[in-house]
Amino acid sequence: MKVNYICSRCHRRFAVNTFAYKCQCGGAFELEKIPPKLPLGRLKSRANSIWRYREVLPIIKDENIVTLGEGMTPLVEERIFDKEVLLKLDYLFPSGSYKDRGASVLVSKIKELGIKTVVGDSSGNAGAAMAAYCARAGITCEIYCPESASEGKLVQISLYGAKLNKIPGSREDTAKVIQEKAKEVFYASHNWNPFFTEGTKTVFYEICEQLNWEVPDSIIMPAGYGSIILGIALAGRELKDMGVINNLPKLVAVQTEAIPPIYEAFRKGETKVTPLAQGRHTYAEGIACLNPIRGEQILEVLRETDGEVIKVSEEEIAEGINILAQKGIYVEPTSAVVVGALRKSLKIKEGKTNVVILTGSGLKATDKILRIFGREFAAKEQLKRSSLQKIDSPK
Ligand SMILES: [Zn+2]
């Protein structure tokens, strides 16, 4: 598949081997490509991974594909707040988050371009995914993360063999540091580089295939930089062009009360997202994004699909972790924001097909989850010990 970059703002074209990660005008790159076709009848016999959609993934030679068998995650029925939902277990990936979708495709492209060294920045999960796939491909990788990122994610990145740099301050402070680095080394950015979105789009291919190529009524997901929304929008356009589907589901994006830039722009009817100067602390580190660089596109697709943006409190995040865990599902705080949205959203209706995307494993954020529930755990333990003492001590 022959492709090139095109600036989303001024429409200037670039070869995909450029080391520039955005246009001189500041616009983000899109991929310009021949509309792909997918042989639906042949999919059944293929591997259960994102690469079953090989024809729509823009890697030229099969030998460059870097894969760990990622994708085709389960879609399971559940009932939450009296609403029937289908949970897309996208935390079941080799590195423990859905970011492996994007990393598999982006690292494959980096290998195809013959690039041997890359840098990336991340709140944690994308960094871990990039480090894992770079390790698999033998590509040298350096990752910048906020120093406050979950210990589990940071340990993962180091053990995969990437050089880890912990940056004090917010997620945006990390993004600023990497701008300098990106002048010397290939910047493998999961937010700027459109090959990453080519991977994240596979979540919508999977959901539609799992529903026998029926479009669900709504999809609910966390939103920071909006990579899932953008992936669904891309897959939706392709599937419509191929004549497989006719419409997109209502997209419900979930943010936190601590950092809600997309929520604010959507509520005010704005076409651009105004970056926030600062945010409050949130346990949902994966969506602690003050400046979603593709904000315009995110707002456009949310409105096109008659979607909605919901914001949830830290208490609702804790409640979400708890409710899901009681159902055998252990996710990180960022993933758990969707539960609060199930209660608040007016777009999620009973009797409809509502898909909830769960993005990251709880095992990655044990330190954060302990901080949220620490006191409660300690109280239960104390209670247990005191009742044991009562039984042990002779009358
Ligand atoms: Zn431009």
Q: Would you list the domain boundaries of the chain?
A: 75-93+196-371
The per-residue pLDDT for 378 is 64
How far is Cα 97 from Cα 74, in angstroms, rounded to an integer?
A: 14
Query: Which residues place a Cβ less than 5 A from the ion ligand 1?
Result: 7, 9-10, 12, 23, 25, 27
Q: Which two tokens stand for residue 358?
A: 């769960």
The per-residue pLDDT for 350 is 85
Distance from chain centroid for Cα 344: 22
Q: Which two tokens stand for residue 72?
A: 């085709």
From the CA of 300, how far away is ligand 1's center (Å)? 19
Pick from 338, 21, 312: which is nearest to 185 by CA?
A: 21
How far is Cα 109 from Cα 93, in angstroms, rounded to an integer?
A: 20
Q: Which residues pair with 119 in a beta bridge?
A: 142, 187
Residues 6+ apart with CB under 8 A from 44: none
Q: In the 8-state DSSP scheme, what is residue 218?
A: E
From the CA of 121, how far away is ligand 1's center (Å)? 23
Percentages helix, strand, coil for the chain, rounded to the nearest 5? 45, 20, 40
The per-residue pLDDT for 395 is 45
How far is Cα 10 from Cα 68, in angstroms, rounded to an integer?
A: 37
Pick from 109, 264, 307: which is nearest to 189 by CA?
A: 109
The per-residue pLDDT for 98 is 98
CB 14 within 8 A of CB 20: yes
Q: Which two tokens stand for residue 327?
A: 């159902």
The per-residue pLDDT for 41 is 92
From the CA of 390, how far away is ligand 1's center (Å)? 73
From the CA of 226, how far away is ligand 1's center (Å)? 21
CB 286 within 8 A of CB 125: yes
How far is Cα 388 from Cα 302, in angstroms, rounded to an integer?
A: 55
How far is Cα 237 from Cα 246, in angstroms, rounded to an integer?
A: 10
From the CA of 181, how far away is ligand 1's center (Å)? 21
How far is Cα 108 from Cα 103, in angstroms, rounded to an integer?
A: 8
How far is Cα 94 from Cα 100, in angstroms, rounded to an integer?
A: 7
From the CA of 301, how far away is ligand 1's center (Å)? 21
Instruction: Tell me which CATH code domain 75-93+196-371 carries.
Output: 3.40.50.1100
pLDDT in tens, the chain (395 residues): 679 999 999 999 999 999 999 999 999 999 999 888 999 999 999 999 999 999 999 999 999 999 999 999 999 999 999 899 999 999 999 999 999 999 999 999 999 999 999 999 998 999 999 999 999 999 999 999 999 989 999 999 999 999 999 999 888 888 888 988 888 899 999 999 999 999 999 999 999 999 999 999 999 999 999 999 999 999 999 999 999 999 999 999 999 999 999 999 999 999 999 999 999 999 999 999 999 999 999 999 999 999 999 999 999 999 999 999 999 999 999 999 999 999 999 888 888 999 999 999 999 999 899 999 886 666 666 666 676 666 555 54
From the CA of 242, how far away is ligand 1's center (Å)? 29
